[in-house]
């Protein structure tokens, strides 16, 4: 696993976009022309390739490595209206000690909570290295005025969030108002900067289940990266379908091509509906085959999940002992799309 690079400073997204698009003024028409010039996605080919990648066989040694890697990539998540400080502290305790019987078990990358509980998570996780990710910008709908979205983000950052998971305005995107989406992402990215100059990493949630087409997923991916996303993320976990392998494949192609075009790496986070070790391994195979092994690192790839960790722990224990543990081997987390 590679060492995480230093977090790049915030950029002037508008100036960079003008340079990349070759225009003197960033406008809706310029963004529309650029985004619609991207190659279209072959739906049949994309789904066939995803199905093929999903059939790859992973042997015992590689499987053990993949399970540990997948655990280290999880954003352990609770995003329910009934969340309490106690529940968040319990989730943090699980992140710190995923398997009390095996201290060698990797820790998840982050704990993901609502912004008003970010301070609770930060205190519980301390200096463990497990990050606090907070959802913001009127998650999950994104239906709020921009000052509210920015305040939501700033509050979470001030509370100690290491990462911000924002949602785009899907209505604006689907109506072709790309400039509004760009500006909102760019402004939220600036709101992630702390007074001393450090910043939280920004994950941009596209809610791919509402984007309808793979072409829209590709365009939203490129628009998000252009505006300053550190990660592009499939879903809130509140809309079905959430993370699918074909959609993630399109996003992996986008970050690969973005690096070819700009030299910059951007992460990918499928979230929602990934519950089993078998599912996680399929996604890891896709990462390696489509984007490349540089993305096989929790700094660049995450799973947004809650129940996935339990299945990975059970599979890990089976590989170690040759037998499945009982249902009480892992904690019973609250059910959700995550």
DSSP for 178-216, written as a single string: HHHHHHHHHHHHHHTB-TTS-B-EEEEE--GGGT-SHHH
- Band (pLDDT 50/70/90 cuts) for residue 54 is confident
Query: Given a cut of 80, is residue 323 above it in pLDDT?
Result: no
Which of 94, 122, 149, 233 is flagged as catalytic? 233
Q: Which of 75, 99, 165, 311 is catalytic?
A: 165
Output the average pLDDT for the chain.
93
Buried b (16+ CB within 10 A) or exposed e, 179-204: bbbbbbbbbbbbbbeeeeeebbbbbb
Structure tokens at 296: 């096989």
The pLDDT tens digits of the residues spanning 118-152 come to: 999 999 999 999 999 999 999 999 999 999 999 99
Q: How many CA atoms lie within 13 A of 26 on its CB side?
A: 23
Q: Is 63 a catalytic residue?
A: no
* The predicted structure's pLDDT at residue 3: 47
Band of pLDDT at residue 306, cut at 50, 70 and 90: confident
Q: How far apart are CA 144 and CA 138, in angstroms?
A: 6
Q: Is 233 a catalytic residue?
A: yes
- Of the candidates 156, 70, 78, the one whose C-alpha atom is nearest the C-alpha of residue 108 is 70
Banded model confidence at residue 1, pLDDT cuts 50, 70, 90: very low
In the set 269, 282, 311, 333, the catalytic residue is 269
> Is the CB of residue 62 less than 8 Å from the CB of residue 70?
no
Give yes or no for residue 10 having a pLDDT over 80.
no
269 is catalytic: yes
Is the pLDDT at 270 greater than 50? The verdict is: yes
pLDDT for position 48: 97
- 317: pLDDT strictly greater than 70: yes
Element (H, E) at 284: helix 277-286
Tell me 234's DSSP state.
Answer: -
Handedness of CA 248, 228, 153, 158 (dihedral sign): positive
Q: Reading across the β-sheet that carries 303-305, which strands appear in turn?
A: 267-269, 231-233, 201-205, 163-167, 131-135, 110-114, 74-77, 303-305
- Nearest CA to 140 among 175, 158, 123, 165? 165
Residue ranges of domains in the chain, CATH in brackets: 22-321 (3.20.20.70)
Residue 276 near residue 178 (C-beta atoms within 8 A): no
pLDDT digits (tens, 9 = 90+) for 55-83: 887 877 899 999 999 999 999 999 999 99
């Amino acid at each position: 696993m590679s060492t995480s690079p230093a977090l790049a400073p915030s950029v002037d997204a508008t100036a960079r976009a003008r340079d990349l698009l070759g225009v003197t003024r960033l406008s809706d028409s310029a963004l529309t022309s650029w985004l619609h010039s991207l190659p279209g996605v072959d739906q049949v080919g994309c789904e066939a390739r995803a199905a093929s990648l999903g059939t790859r066989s992973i042997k015992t040694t590689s499987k053990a490595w993949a399970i540990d890697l997948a655990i280290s990539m999880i954003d352990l998540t609770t995003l329910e209206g009934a969340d309490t400080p106690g529940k968040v502290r319990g989730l943090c305790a699980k992140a710190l000690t995923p398997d009390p019987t095996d201290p060698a078990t990797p820790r998840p990358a982050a704990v993901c909570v609502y912004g008003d509980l970010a301070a609770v998570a930060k205190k519980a996780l301390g200096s463990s290295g497990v990050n606090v990710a907070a959802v913001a910008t009127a998650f999950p709908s994104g239906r709020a005025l921009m000052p509210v979205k920015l305040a939501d983000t700033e509050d979470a950052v001030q509370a100690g969030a290491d990462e911000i998971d924002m949602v785009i305005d899907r209505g604006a995107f689907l109506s072709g108002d790309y400039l509004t989406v760009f500006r909102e992402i760019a402004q939220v990215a600036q709101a992630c900067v702390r007074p001393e100059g450090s910043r939280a990493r920004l994950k941009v949630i596209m809610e791919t289940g509402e984007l309808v087409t793979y072409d829209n997923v590709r365009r939203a991916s490129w628009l998000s990266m252009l505006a300053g996303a550190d990660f592009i993320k499939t879903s809130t976990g509140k809309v079905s379908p959430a993370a699918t392998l074909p959609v993630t494949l399109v996003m992996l192609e986008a970050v690969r091509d973005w690096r070819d075009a700009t030299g910059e790496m951007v992460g990918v986070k499928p979230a929602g509906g990934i519950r089993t070790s078998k599912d996680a391994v399929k996604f890891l195979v896709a990462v390696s085959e489509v984007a490349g092994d540089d993305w096989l690192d929790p700094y660049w790839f995450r799973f947004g999940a809650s129940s996935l960790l339990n299945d990975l722990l059970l599979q890990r224990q089976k590989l170690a002992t040759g037998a499945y543990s009982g249902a009480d081997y892992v904690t019973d987390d609250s059910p959700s799309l995550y």
